[in-house]
Amino acid sequence: MRIYTRQFGELTVSEDKVIYFEEGIIGFPEYKRFVLLETDVDRPFLWLMSLDEPEFCLPLLPGDVVEGYREGISLYLKGRRDQAVYVVVTLGREPESVTVNLKGPILIDVKNGKGRQVIIDSDAFALSYPLLGDVDTDKEAR
């Protein structure tokens, strides 16, 4: 399928790259079909772009950017090792203001192309975890 967006221009997306979110994304339950985009310009960031509304994109990073995060949310992975874990990024004007949402990770089953966003019900994980900065002082807020 061909899609045009202001941010990425014209894209061709094959059906096997479509990720289906049965419940949508939190706050946007009507958007069900997404694709994960990588660009050379934005690395290491990825973009979760809605195919239902191509102007809607979420910047993501692999959950591994926060040490021990995957292990910390293992209960939500339900023992599935084939799930990719991503955190939603909030970009700021300055690199020091970039945060990641550790309470609402995006989980994608790489085998069946299904995704879901879960809520981590634990005070151990922050909604706005600073991506850069003094890691030792930030560990308490993780």
Q: For residue 53, what pLDDT is reported?
A: 93
Please tell me the predicted confidence (pLDDT) of residue 141: 46
Residue 94 confidence (pLDDT): 80
Show the domains of the chain with their CATH numbers.
2-141 (2.30.290.10)
Cα gap 23→12, rounded to integer Å: 25
> What pLDDT sits at residue 133?
55
Give mean pLDDT in consecutive 10-residue pieces for the chain, a chain of 142 residues.
86 91 95 91 88 94 91 84 91 83 94 93 89 49 48
φ, ψ dihedrals at 87, nearest 5°: -115, 145
d(CA 137, CA 140): 6
Instruction: Say how many residues make up the chain.
Output: 142
Question: Would you state the pLDDT for residue 140?
Answer: 43
Read off the pTM.
0.85
CA distances from 73 to 77, 96, 128, 134 (A): 7, 25, 16, 23
Please state whether 33 falls in left (phi above 0), alpha (psi between -120 and 50) or beta: beta
